[in-house]
């Protein structure tokens, strides 16, 4: 099992290398990264040449890329192209914030989706089932940025009309967040709308998978046996059927973790949260290849880690699965 | 955020076999019906027509899909005749009527913005841009995905390997990040460029589906029979096998259409899609955002239009899938 997980992880290394190289090549091909610098009036041609030489921007793309890779073990992810500041501390800060958002959204989406999926499978073709199906269709058709905006509009309109501020529509914390429990509660209060916007698509997607796999399981022989034994319905659902039905949904959830991380680009930009997503979007605007590549590498590593966790969870949930 | 490749249907539970052979998500048994009578050409025609009749009857009975299709046709007609239908030009400024909430007076159904521009007209023109982009994306990505998927499934070989590695890449790198990168560096705010970029990034899920179907079809007797009769590879692939793949392709096309509308709106909203003077739904939503505290309709109206169109396309896709699924009983 461990070797299996290890192999899966090893396979992803060349993919990460390929992805970062492609990104680097695209950015290099698409134009001059110093373009913005040139337009600033107080920058002389000499200074630009200095940057160009010290960073080796005239070298072939492959050489530049290799230099970047070599530098990772000791220098973190190096410095920004135009500012002598290390990239790694920034990434560390935003990564922590984003993980709070993404993990909360993932867990929330998973729990809601499992509940919806199980309930609509148990009552197939009922009003509840049709309602959930329709809602999941809406979830698929609702761009997350728009959902976030609608939530903001609603909250703002309520504030304008009643003077009650239900939720903040931006930032990670209040001006004076306090410490300890107060800080945590304040953070949760700020994150509720972003989490909801991020989770809606996942709820729609996971609940369809959960419903499908639950339908398959509850019509299987061993569930009928459990019912014939006279077990209470609740036990059959939770202990017998759900345990097996969870497995495919869990895979989907783990594989969709990257989608969720990608979704933070939009959600964090809309809500103005200091996280990975907004960081990516800001650096994209600056066309600085180095932080973008650092971002891509970190995100890929996080996604691989989550797939690994899902693989390990598998073995726990379903002892029938053999890894060899 | 809707990612390409996610489909709002009852999915098959994912399988974790080593090869990661894509199970065709729609129509797994579809081709068999035709397969039996594939050789004499007149028989094929009769069979194909009856298939078509079954499909038509099933689809016409799907009320939600029919209603959505009817609505979509109206929207498309209205959007592409925006020049004639719209009560105002999309950039017509009328300061006297600035910041009017939605009203029937003077046909400001969706209200006006700070400059008095009529938002109903702007949404009509914006829908036109968005539909045009999405249409190009759907056609182009379907072409690429079908051809590459067919080649990968039929010949296997290096194209197949590349396709499967791309699948791995999609899992590890968030698709939206790639889209944003490509749009920022190559898009330059031009609708057609954006459409081509989206098409070049959205074909992979269809290619995997077509590949899966082709993998199973290439072992069928009628393919062997065609080969024995001396048919060339191209003829076997595109005359014999492709018609049996048409169901998943059509369904996937609707999904790409919906995804493209949503992604284009997201890009335009973030300022790296269609550039502002051209109205697109995402651009309009972004315009309304700055004044969302007072002029809420500037965000809500184009937003509702966007969601309604995407939802209707998904409903039509759902109806198509049901109608094309031979395992489902009629009735």
| pLDDT at residue A308 is higher than 50 | yes
Alpha carbon of A101 to those of A66, A104, A112: distances in Å? Answer: 34, 5, 16
Nearest CA in chain B to A157: B293
Helical residues (DSSP H) of chain A, grouped into ranges? 2-29, 35-39, 45-54, 61-75, 88-122, 127-141, 144-162, 181-218, 221-228, 233-235, 242-255, 257-271, 276-286, 289-317
Contact A149 B6 (CB under 8 A): no
Q: Of A311, A285, A314, A312, whose CA–CA distance to A82 is shortest? A: A285
For a pLDDT cut of 90, what percent of chain A falls above it?
A: 13
Q: Is the pLDDT of residue A200 over 80?
A: yes
Find, in chain B, the residue whose alpha carbon is nearest to that of A153: B292
Chain A residue whose CA is closest to B264: A143
Of B2, B184, B289, nearest to A140 by CB-CB distance is B2
Looking at chain A, which residue has its C-alpha nearest residue B165? A15
pLDDT of residue A38: 64
Say how many Å lie between the first and final Cα of chain B, rounded: 35
Cβ contacts (< 8 Å) between B169 and chain A: which residues?
15, 18-19
- Report how far residue B82's alpha carbon sits from residue B72's, in angstroms, rounded to the nearest whole number: 15
Map residue A281 onto helix, strand or coil. helix
pLDDT in tens, A2-38: 777 777 778 778 877 887 788 778 777 766 666 666 6
With beta carbons under 8 A apart, name residues in chain B contacting A300.
172-173
CB-based contact (8 Å) between B295 and chain A?
no
pLDDT of residue B137: 92
B35 close contact with A: CB closer than 8 A: no
Instruction: Give, rounded to a whole angstrom, the gap between the first and last alpha carbons of chain A.
Output: 7
Cβ contact, residue pair A140, B12, below 8 Å: no
- In degrees, rounded to 5, the angle at the alpha carbon of residue A176 between the alpha carbons of residues A105 and A182 is 55
Minimal C-alpha gap between B209 and chain A (Å): 17
Q: Do A16 and B3 touch (CB under 8 A)?
A: no
* Chain A residues inside the 8 Å CB shell of B262: 141, 143
pLDDT band for B154, please (50, 70, 90 cuts): confident
pLDDT > 80? residue A98: yes
- How far is Cα A306 from Cα A300, in angstroms, rounded to an integer? 10
State whether residue B162 sits within 8 Å of chain A by CB: no
d(CA A155, CA A160): 9
Among the partner residues A19, A247, A295, nearest to B169 by beta-carbon distance: A19
* 3-state class (DSSP) for residue B302: helix
- pTM comes to 0.80
The full length of chain B comes to: 331
Q: What is the pLDDT of residues A226-285, one digit of tens each?
A: 989 988 888 888 888 888 888 888 888 887 888 888 889 999 998 988 889 899 998 888
Give this complex's ipTM. Answer: 0.81
Q: Which residues pair with B308 in a beta bridge?
A: none
> Chains A, B: CB contacts under 8 A, how many?
168
CB A117 within 8 A of CB A210: yes
- Of A146, A255, A284, which has the smallest distance from its Cβ to B303's Cβ? A146
CA B5, A132, A318 angle in degrees (round to 5)? Answer: 65
Q: Which of A153, A292, A318 to mutate against chain B (most B CBs within 10 Å)?
A: A153
Contact criterion met (CB < 8 Å) for B293 and A160:
yes
Residues of B in contact with A262 (CB under 8 A): 1, 3, 174-177
pLDDT level of residue B29 (50, 70, 90 thresholds): very low
> B19, B163, B173: which to substitute to probe chain A, counting the most A Cβ within 10 Å?
B173
3-class secondary-structure state, position B76: helix
Asked if B177's CB is within 8 angstroms of A262's CB, the reply is: yes
The pLDDT-based confidence of B326 (bands split at 50, 70, 90) is: low
* Measured distance CA(A323)–CA(A303) in Å, rounded: 21
Q: What share of chain B is helix, strand, coil (3-state, %, to 5)?
A: 70, 0, 30
């Amino acid at each position: 099992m461990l070797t299996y997980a290890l192999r899966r992880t090893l396979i992803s290394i060349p993919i990460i290398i390929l992805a970062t190289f492609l990104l680097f090549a695209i950015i290099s091909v698409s134009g001059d990264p110093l373009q913005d610098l040139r337009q600033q009036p107080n920058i002389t041609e000499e200074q630009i040449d200095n940057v160009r030489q010290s960073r080796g921007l005239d070298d072939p793309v492959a050489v530049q890329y290799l230099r970047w890779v070599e530098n990772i073990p000791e220098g973190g992810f190096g410095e920004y192209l135009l500012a002598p500041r290390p990239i790694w501390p920034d990434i560390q800060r935003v990564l922590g914030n984003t993980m709070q958002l993404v993990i909360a959204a993932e867990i929330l989406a998973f729990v809601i989706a499992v509940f919806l999926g199980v309930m609509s499978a148990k009552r197939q073709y009922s009003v509840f089932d049709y309602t959930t199906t329709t809602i999941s269709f809406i979830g698929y058709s609702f761009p997350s940025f728009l959902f976030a905006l609608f939530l903001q509009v609603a909250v703002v309109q309520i504030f304008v009309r009643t003077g009650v501020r239900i939720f903040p529509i931006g930032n990670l914390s209040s001006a004076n967040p306090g410490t300890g429990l107060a800080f945590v509660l304040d953070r949760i209060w700020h994150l509720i709308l972003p989490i909801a916007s991020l989770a809606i698509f996942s709820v729609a997607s996971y609940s369809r998978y959960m419903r499908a796999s639950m339908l398959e399981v509850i019509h299987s022989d061993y569930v009928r046996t459990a019912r014939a034994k006279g077990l209470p319905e609740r036990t059959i659902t939770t202990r017998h059927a759900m345990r097996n039905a969870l497995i495919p949904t869990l895979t989907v959830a783990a594989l969709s973790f990257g989608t969720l991380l990608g979704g933070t680009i939009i959600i964090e930009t809309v809500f103005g949260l200091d996280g990975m997503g907004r960081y990516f979007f800001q650096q994209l605007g600056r066309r600085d290849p180095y932080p973008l590549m650092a971002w891509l590498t970190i995100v890929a590593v996080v996604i691989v880690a989550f797939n690994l966790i899902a693989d390990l969870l598998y073995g726990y949930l379903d002892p029938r699965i053999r890894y060899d | 955020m809707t990612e390409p490749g996610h489909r709002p249907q009852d999915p098959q539970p994912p399988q974790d076999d080593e090869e990661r052979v894509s199970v065709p998500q729609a129509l797994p048994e579809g081709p068999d019906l035709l397969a039996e009578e594939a050789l004499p050409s007149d028989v094929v025609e009769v069979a194909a027509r009856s298939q078509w009749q079954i499909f038509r009857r099933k689809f016409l009975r799907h009320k939600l899909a029919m209603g959505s299709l009817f609505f979509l046709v109206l929207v498309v007609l209205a959007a592409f005749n925006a020049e004639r239908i719209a009560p105002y030009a999309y950039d017509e400024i009328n300061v006297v009527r600035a910041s009017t909430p939605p009203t029937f007076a003077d046909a400001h159904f969706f209200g006006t913005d700070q400059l008095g521009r009529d938002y109903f007209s702007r949404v009509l023109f914006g829908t036109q841009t968005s539909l045009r982009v999405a249409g190009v994306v759907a056609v182009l990505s379907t072409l690429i995905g079908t051809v590459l998927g067919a080649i990968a499934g039929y010949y296997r070989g290096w194209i197949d390997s590349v396709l499967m590695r791309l699948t791995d890449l999609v899992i590890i790198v968030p698709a939206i990040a790639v889209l944003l990168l490509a749009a920022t560096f190559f898009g330059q705010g031009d609708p057609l460029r954006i459409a081509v970029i989206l098409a070049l990034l959205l074909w992979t899920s269809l290619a995997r589906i077509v590949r899966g179907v082709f993998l199973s079809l290439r072992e069928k007797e009628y393919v062997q029979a065609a080969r024995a009769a001396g048919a060339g590879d191209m003829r076997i692939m595109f005359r014999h096998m492709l018609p049996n793949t048409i169901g998943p392709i059509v369904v996937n096309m609707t999904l790409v259409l919906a995804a493209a509308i949503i992604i284009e709106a997201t890009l335009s909203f973030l300022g790296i899609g269609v550039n502002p003077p051209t109205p697109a739904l995402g651009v309009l939503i972004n315009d309304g955002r700055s004044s969302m505290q007072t002029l809420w309709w500037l965000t809500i109206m184009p937003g509702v239009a966007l969601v309604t169109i995407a939802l209707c396309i998904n409903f039509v896709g759902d109806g198509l899938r049901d109608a094309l699924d031979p395992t489902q009983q009629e009735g």
